[in-house]
A and B are shown apart, each in its own frame.
Chain A
Amino acid sequence: MAASYYIEVLRNLGQVDLYIKLDNHVSPSDIRLVDSKPLQLSKTATLTLPVSVNNARATTSILPSKSSKWMRIRVPISISTNRLQHLQSTVPLSQISGPICADFVRGFASICCRNCQTQLTEGSMGGVVVRDLPSTFWSELVECWVCHPEEDKLRINPDLLHLFEPDTGKIQNKETEEVVRDVWVGNTHLLAPGSLFRELPMRNVELDKKASRVLLVSYFSLDSVYVASCFPLQYMAFYSSLAFNEGPRTNCLCQVCMCL
């Protein structure tokens, strides 16, 4: 029977916590850290830890529990570099990459339904340009980085930029769809022109009556991805990179503003 365990690496604390369930197959005397990585759970079962640890400094304790007995081993991570370098290597929240980006999608052949694997796209995807969308919150974050004292004179006006509006069936007088073959990759979605797809069925979102206040709320959060017809994509990429930068820039956005 397999042993039950839970191991987590707490990089910011420089610790690894190991919790091992004690039962007939696993006893405290069997458990030991053999070297910097292998953990022996019983005479026959050995695990390899995700990081090297300093097993000489391990501390153990038995956790109080009514249903089962668990042993905790707390052991420091072996840090080859110095502590300052280790702390500096911590990735800030804003720089954690998402599960998808344009590089992953580029060169795709088709898009299929997850449920039945039916191909949804039509024809060749050759010539389709795939680009990353900016961070959803770039327009909020950009205020932190702009160092213009005369911010009201900026020629960037988010009100002039377009927001992704879910089709509620009420929007009239939209221009005919442009023949574009660009695919934009967001953190949780892809934006693609309908021309790439077969004729797909659509239906209005059925909401309970009292929930009608969120008719304009898109899936997940409010989608503040702005793309203006007059807003070149290279600037979107620029703002996207700004949103992911760590600190205020010494160069302000003047050059970009002039271009806009």
Chain B
Amino acid sequence: MELLCDSCNYVIGEVGYMGPKRLFKLFVHRSDVCFTESPKLSIGLSQTVTKEFIDHAAAHALYHFIIEERKSCEPVALVSMTAWNTDIMAEHENGTASGRVIKVTYVDRKGDGFAKKIKDTEANGSAEHIIMLNDDCDELLKTLEANSLYYPPPFHMMPGGTCSFLHM
């Protein structure tokens, strides 16, 4: 059961039980933690997805992730984490980026041979499934696409897909 904001109907989390306790599970990238004297704590989708990737990789030594939409359960992207804790500085005509990132290659559902890649990856059991809200899948794909533009053209495409990064 999804938990919504009563003002704008934005999905902020889900409702569930932990034993007898009824709890709200708030997604940190969809809610802000506010303080009286300090600035609010606002965490982006990129950071939560990155942490999810890192946790999976640390526990299972798997570095490929099939991103699935929650509503349709259809895969929307195959993301491979190729490096982490990389500091970058980048600039192009439309923006700047800096900070600590994980480097990834990805193929989205519009990419050539996407269905086959997903099938192969699932067959050899080398990927984890990450299920996300549809809106978050769209936002993640937009972020990956925007960040890929920072790469120099000769390194834009790799055998694993398009090169990009996500902020940690």
Residues of A within 8 A of B (CB): 2-11, 19, 21, 47, 49-51, 63-68, 70, 72, 91-94, 96, 98-100, 104-105, 107-120, 135-137, 140-141, 162-169, 171, 174-175, 177-178, 180, 187-194, 197-208, 210-211, 213-214, 217-221, 223, 225, 227-229
Contacts and interface: CB of A to CB of B under 8 A. Distances in A.
A211 to B, nearest CB: 4
A218 B89 contact: no
B122 interface: no
A47 B35 contact: no
Contacts of A211: 71-74
Given A108-B34, A211-B72, A220-B130, A116 B5 contact: yes
B51 A99 contact: yes
Interface string B4-20: 11111110111111111
B13 A105 contact: no
B16 A227 contact: no
Contacts of A203: 1-2, 4
Nearest to B47: A99
Contact of A229 (B15, B19, B58): B19
Contacts of B22: 167, 174, 177, 193-194
B52 A221 contact: yes
A217 B128 CA distance: 13
Contact of B25 (A51, A163, A189): A189
B73 A112 contact: no
Contact of B87 (A50, A92, A105): A50
Given A112-B32, A188-B48, A219-B133, A6 B152 contact: yes
Contact of B33 (A64, A108, A166, A214): A108
A105 B54 CA distance: 22
Nearest to A211: B73
Nearest to B4: A201
Nearest to B68: A214
Contact of B55 (A2, A118, A187, A228): A187
Contacts, number: 288
Interface residues of B, number: 82
B146 interface: no
Contacts of B35: 107-109
A80 B35 CA distance: 40
12 contacts: A7-B88, A72-B152, A96-B84, A116-B10, A175-B20, A177-B22, A197-B24, A198-B6, A200-B5, A201-B3, A210-B73, A219-B131
Nearest to B14: A166
A11 B23 CA distance: 42
B154 A165 contact: no
A199 B4 CA distance: 10
Given A193-B23, A207-B73, A211-B72, A91 B14 contact: no
B88 A6 contact: yes
Contacts of A225: 18
B153 A67 contact: yes
A188 to B, nearest CB: 4
